[in-house]
Every structure is written in structure tokens, then in C-alpha cells.
Amino acid sequence: MEHITLLIGIVIATALVFDFTNGFHDTANAMATTISTGALKPKTAVAMSAALNLVGAFLSVAVAKTISGGIIDESAGIKPEVIFAGLVGAILWNMITWLAGLPSSSSHALFGGLIGAVLVAAGTHGIHGDAVVMKVLIPAAAAPVVAGLASTLATRVSYRVGRRTDPKATARGYRAGQIASAGLVSLAHGTSDGQKTMGVITLTLITGNALAPHSDPPLWVIVSAGAAMAMGTYLGGWRIIRTMGRGLTDIQPQQGFAAQTGAAATILASSHLGFALSTTQVCSGAVMGAGLGRSGAVVRWSTAGRMVAAWVLTLPGAGLVAAGAALLADQGKWGVTVVAVLALAACAAIRTASRRRPVTSANVNETDTAEPQGAVTAAIAAVAPPPPAPAAGTAA
């Protein structure tokens, strides 16, 4: 760490804020069903997930090095302002979907934001189109299907094998299994998503000439990124946890175990075979699959439809916000300042809006049938044009 300018300092701080939002946005992935089946108390669950996310951040730096060379072409002249704009887009999209209680992919928000900002600042040659399709779009379509089918089948098998047992007597066993597989998901999440932020910070340091090209992330980057994500995870995105644990379907311990194991297996298999799938979409798909696997369980397709609409909108939505931010930030110091002020104001407004219907660790397991659908639709419509939404809704 030699000479770090104020601008690079701002970008790093923004990246850590994104990491924080990523943490609380994705707590649901590992812990939603663990909390809704009562395997762990809400506070214990988020504490365990936070600790494992932190540990995961230290396990590997392989993914961190792929973020820059993969989707974005650094040689196209990416400036710190552009990365800043991309991060602002990603943060705002995470906040909006959190307010709506929708589990959307934080990685897609990050990619969408960076892509949108780069498109505005450097044009289409700054983006590897093939890489976007191969690394983002196809995995996005495949993730929920793969995880969903696996956990549907696993749920069926589990209920068939255990059909002569008393559900009350066996629930404890399944809850224990659920905790183990949720821990695995948390660990894998810390390793993959924590590294994305490390990659962004490293890329910023390289563009600002504070680090040599192709460097590994310095230790202070790994520590701060891991800590930011762990704090976000511990805060807990209770709105999203409620949607995933209660809103999609009613989850029994046996289903929760099947869903969580399916999610862990999908994430590990895909990342190990070089086909990284979005943790959020894998976990949501697995929960729905487990819902379909138990006879008599209800899958709430309207909630699922809104969730899929949010998935489809995440890339363009975060991209549009980031593109606007990039236009402003490219104007110089005042532009960056305006973007920062606007972003802070928007986050404060979203936080205030969330206070009207707070969801906390105390009421996370209450089913809330009268969800604020108006706010959801309005928020999404305000950020991205509505046409894709109905199509996605019916396809779901």
C-alpha cells in the first residue's frame, strides 16, 4: 500500500459497503430454512453464518483474480470513477430488492453495475460479451433448475425412505443435518462472494497504480472484505429470510435438510467444475424444489414469480443505475461527489421506508400474507422499465 488517493479511498469504502449489503442480502441463502424450521434460533443462525463467512474469506483468493480479466476488459481504460459508479448501482439494487424482501443475486447486481458503468464509460469493447453469456446468463438460468430438481428428488426420496417414522421423533435429526449443510453453504458463500469484493478492490488499486498488475489481494483487503461481509451477515437481511424461509413454501425440517443439502451440493459441484452459479438463485431454487417434493406442500407461485422477475431485472436494473452514476462520475470530482450524496440519500430513504414495516429477528417467522406488493412493484418499475416483468412472471 503506497500512495492511495482520496478517490481510490472512496472506491474502496464503497466496495466495502457493497460487501456489507452482499452479506445481509445473502444471509437468507444459508439460514432462511434453518431459521424457519427452528433448527437454530435466528440470532444464533446469523452469528454462525457470519463466522463461517469470515472464515471462508480467508480460504482462497482464486476467484478474486478472475473478476477483472473475466468479464471486464481492463485494457479498455477503466478508471476508479467507473468502478465507483458500478458499485453504487450494485448497492442501490441490493437495497431496493432488500426493501422488497426479494432474494436477488448480489453477484448479478455487482456484474450488472460494473457492466453498465463500463458500457457508458468505455463502450461495448470494454465488455467481453461471450463471458457475460457464459459466466452470468447461462448459470443464472441453470442454477435454480439444477438445485430445484436435485432437492425435489431428494425430498421425495427422503419422505419415501422415512415414511414409517414419526415426524416428531425424526425432526431433531434432520435439523442437525440442516445445520451442517447450512454451514457448508455459508463457508462456500464467504469464499466465493467475499472474493468478488476483494477482486474489485484489487482491480481499483491496480488501476490507481497502487499495486502491480496481476497482484494477489493484499492481506488488509482480505481482512476488511471478510469483516464487512461478516458484519452484514450478522445484521441479517430479515426481510429476505422471511420470504425464503416462509414466503415461498412451508418448510418442514426434512425438506429444509434436503433443500440445504441440494444447495450446498450445487454450489460446490458448480464452482469446482468451473461453472459458478449464483448462490442466491441456487438456494431459492432448492427451497422451491423441496416445496414441490413434499406432497401436500404449497408453493406460492406469486411470490416465486416476483422473485424471478427480480432476477431478470437485476442485471439491467443495477446496470441502468450504474450507467447513470457513471455519466455523472465521469464529469470529474463534483460528479463523484454528487453520485456519493445521491447514493447516500437513496440508501437513507430506503432505510426509512423499511422502518414502516420492520422485519427483525423477533418477527421473522411470522407469516405475512399481506406483503407490501405495491411498494415492490413501484420500486422495480421505477428502476427498470416494466416490460420484462410480466413475461418473467408468466414464465415462472
Partner 1 sequence: MSIDWHALFTVFAVTLLSTVGLVGVFTLGVVGLSRREGGAAALSRTGAYVCFAACAAAVAWGIYLIVSK
Nearest distance, CB of residue 266 and partner 1, angstroms = 5
Binding mask 249-268 for partner 1 (x = CB under 8 A): -----x--xx--xx-xxx-x
Contact present, 98 and 347 (Cβ < 8 Å): no
177-214 per-residue burial string, b: 16 or more CB within 10 A, e: under 16: bbbebbbbbbbbbbbbbbbbbbbbbbbbbbbbebbeee
Q: Whose Cβ is closer to partner 1: residue 164's or residue 356's?
A: 164
Q: What is the CA radius of gyration of the chain?
A: 20
Contact flag: residue 338 with partner 1 (CB under 8 A) = no
Binding mask 262-301 for partner 1 (x = CB under 8 A): x-xxx-xxxxxxxx-x------------------------
Contact flag: residue 85 with partner 1 (CB under 8 A) = no
Contact present, 392 and 309 (Cβ < 8 Å): yes
The β-bridge partners of 72 are 127
Contact flag: residue 198 with partner 1 (CB under 8 A) = no
Contact present, 91 and 244 (Cβ < 8 Å): no
Residue from 115, 127, 146, 198 touching partner 1 (CB under 8 A): that is 146
The kind and range of the H/E element at 92 are: helix 80-99
Nearest distance, CB of residue 37 and partner 1, angstroms = 14
Residue from 154, 227, 241, 328 touching partner 1 (CB under 8 A): that is 154
The β-bridge partners of 249 are 299
Contact flag: residue 115 with partner 1 (CB under 8 A) = no
Q: Whose Cβ is closer to partner 1: residue 158's or residue 303's?
A: 158
Contact flag: residue 130 with partner 1 (CB under 8 A) = yes
Q: Whose Cβ is closer to partner 1: residue 164's or residue 355's?
A: 164
DSSP E strands in 240-326: the ranges are: none
Please report, for residues 56, 58, 68, 174, 379, the alpha-carbon distance to residue 188 in angstroms, rounded to integers and kept in the order given.
6, 11, 21, 21, 31
Contact flag: residue 164 with partner 1 (CB under 8 A) = yes
The β-bridge partners of 299 are 249
The kind and range of the H/E element at 350 are: helix 333-355
Residue from 6, 161, 219, 370 touching partner 1 (CB under 8 A): that is 161
Q: Which residues bind partner 1 (CB under 8 A)?
A: 56, 59-60, 62-63, 129-130, 133-134, 138, 142, 146-147, 149-151, 153-155, 157-158, 161-162, 164-166, 169-170, 173-174, 177, 180-181, 184, 187-188, 191, 254, 257-258, 261-262, 264-266, 268-275, 277
